Amino acid sequence: MASPVQFRSFNEKYECNDDGNFSFSSTEQKRIEAMLFENYNSLVLEPFESTGDADLSELTILRQKHTAYLLRYLKNCPSSYATLDASRSWMCYWAVNALKILDAEIPADVVQNIIAFLKSCEHPEGGYGGGPGQLAHLAPTYASVMCLVSLQNEEALKSINKETLFKFLKKCKHESGGFYMHEGGEIDMRSAYCALATCEVVGLPLEQISEGVAEWIISCQSYEGGFGGEPYTEAHGGYTFCAVAALVLLNRFRLADMESLLRWTTRRQMKYEGGFQGRTNKLVDGCYSFWQGAIFPLLDGEMEREGRSLEKGLFEARMLEEYILVGCQSIHGGFKDKPDKPVDLYHTCYVLSGLSIAQKYSLARDGKILGGDVNILSEINPVFNVTVTSEQFAKEYFTSH
């Protein structure tokens, strides 16, 4: 299973070796590696062997198909999907953010429907639920606000009731420094990030809800170096992103154990696949292209402030690009976790977000991206996971309103 030098992933020396000791985990790992190599072989290796060069044009982002896939779901999302009723605001965010990363046009009637639908999810006492008439919850509140921000539309931003939203955020604050996800709900790392990111992006006074938050976050850093969802739990890529982004928002990152965090995060990129795993000894998953990948530009920024920037970067961006385009892109539109998984809005959003981050890394360090300039995506702000232009549009609007 040797691969040409043009690709950094799919190298036989990094194939899984379980020394003949059968386990479910090693079997799954080998199966994923075989699928990835088969995809890689059909895309690149055969043209390489016959012509002497790899046909990288085969690794083009299928923008039109992804756009059609996202719009098809987005047009139906506000009015259907009853089985996913509590996730409908999330589905709007995933689809809209993905379309903006693709630099795709969203029809005006769809934009209006999304604004009206999310307004129907806004709780009278502040915050948003996953669907109309549902309990206000920090997760769909984050999703709803970031979706409205992503639309880059003044009517969308005007629809956010900042006064009741801030009351809801303050009501969720717990004396420990953390936040309830909803009234009487759980307290974990997601809620801290969702509250702070939502507060910051709409220009509300972050200092009024930030007391003790940084200290609570630090209590969740595990012996491995990453962060768990709450104190004394396993380090996890999603929670670690939430922790790092929250500390950056608070300007309190120096409280973290940087060295152990660097060790843990840099070891989550899979040597053979090129993508990221979410936890130690787990399988690769496309969504961690963002959850793990977005941590690195945030760490870069903190290290630069300390005069410790690394010229080569903290992860292999080209390998991540390879995993995404070889293993996650569907020829029918949408992105997925692994080659044999179905596409969904969640993975489409976070895979594209991770690819945008990888491309910026590759351009800064290699001057090129996989597949050529035709593949360039819109840049995202990794703190919020919305495009830079969306975040800037919101900042300008809320500064003057």
Q: What is the pLDDT of residues 186-217, one digit of tens each?
A: 999 999 999 999 999 999 999 999 999 999 99
Name the band, by pLDDT with cuts 50, 70 and 90, for residue 157.
very high
Is residue 2 classed exposed, middle or buried when 0-12, 13-18 and 19+ CB atoms within 10 A define those classes?
A: exposed
pLDDT at residue number 113? 94
Active-site residue, selected from the candidate residues 180, 337, 346, 349: 337
pLDDT at residue number 5? 42
pLDDT over 80 at 144, yes or no: yes
What is the rounded average pLDDT of the residues 169-179? 97
pLDDT over 60 at 378, yes or no: yes
Active-site residue, selected from the candidate residues 73, 128, 239, 288: 288
pLDDT over 70 at 254, yes or no: yes
C-alpha span between 359 and 89 (Å, rounded): 28
pLDDT over 90 at 76, yes or no: no
Name the band, by pLDDT with cuts 50, 70 and 90, for residue 341.
very high
Q: Return the structure tokens found at 142.
A: 């984050």
Cβ neighbors of 80 (< 8 A, separation 6 or more) are: none
Q: For this structure, is 119 an active site residue?
A: no
Q: Which DSSP string corresponds to 269-328?
A: B-TTT-SBBSSTT--B-TTHHHHTTTHHHHHHHHHHHTT---TT-SS-HHHHHHHIIIII
pLDDT over 80 at 43, yes or no: no
C-alpha span between 191 and 142 (Å, rounded): 9
pLDDT over 80 at 18, yes or no: yes
What is the overall mean pLDDT for the chain? 92
Instruction: Look up tokens 């152990």; give the residue.
Output: 260
What is the rounded average pLDDT of the residues 25-44? 90
Which one-letter DSSP state was computed for residue 163? H
What is the rounded average pLDDT of the residues 44-53? 51
Name the band, by pLDDT with cuts 50, 70 and 90, for residue 305.
confident
Active-site residue, selected from the candidate residues 88, 182, 347, 360: 347
pLDDT over 50 at 384, yes or no: yes
C-alpha span between 173 and 182 (Å, rounded): 10
Quote the distance between the C-alpha of residue 352 and its chain's center.
8
Q: For this structure, is 288 an active site residue?
A: yes
pLDDT over 70 at 4, yes or no: no
Q: For this structure, is 287 an active site residue?
A: yes
pLDDT at residue number 45? 56
Is residue 282 classed exposed, middle or buried when 0-12, 13-18 and 19+ CB atoms within 10 A define those classes?
A: middle
Name the band, by pLDDT with cuts 50, 70 and 90, for residue 280.
very high
pLDDT over 80 at 83, yes or no: no
pTM, rounded to two decimals: 0.94
Name the band, by pLDDT with cuts 50, 70 and 90, for residue 303.
confident
Q: In terms of Cα–Cα distance, which of 136, 250, 294, 401 is closest to 145?
A: 136
Query: Which residues are 122's β-sheet partners?
Result: 128
pLDDT at residue number 54? 53
Q: Checking phi first, is residue 128 left (phi over 0); if not, alpha (psi -120 to 50) or beta?
A: beta
Cβ neighbors of 136 (< 8 A, separation 6 or more) are: 123, 125, 126, 127, 128, 129, 168, 182, 183
pLDDT over 90 at 139, yes or no: yes
Active-site residue, selected from the candidate residues 73, 285, 323, 346: 285
Active-site residue, selected from the candidate residues 30, 63, 344, 395: 344
C-beta of residue 190 within 8 angstroms of C-beta of residue 230: no
Q: For this structure, is 85 an active site residue?
A: no
Alpha-helical runs (H) found in 333-401: 345-365, 388-400
pLDDT over 60 at 79, yes or no: no
| pLDDT-above-90 percentage for the chain | 83
Which amino acid would we find at residue 65? K
Q: For this structure, is 347 an active site residue?
A: yes
C-alpha span between 227 and 217 (Å, rounded): 8
pLDDT over 50 at 2, yes or no: no
What is the rounded average pLDDT of the residues 97-117? 97
Which amino acid would we find at residue 201? V
CA count, 13 A, side-chain hemisphere, 71: 16
Q: For this structure, is 285 an active site residue?
A: yes
C-beta of residue 215 within 8 angstroms of C-beta of residue 176: no
Q: In terms of Cα–Cα distance, which of 133, 113, 117 is closest to 125?
A: 133
C-beta of residue 269 within 8 angstroms of C-beta of residue 292: yes
Q: Return the structure tokens found at 93.
A: 């965010």
Q: For this structure, is 318 an active site residue?
A: no
| pLDDT-above-70 percentage for the chain | 93
Name the band, by pLDDT with cuts 50, 70 and 90, for residue 237.
very high
Name the band, by pLDDT with cuts 50, 70 and 90, for residue 19.
confident
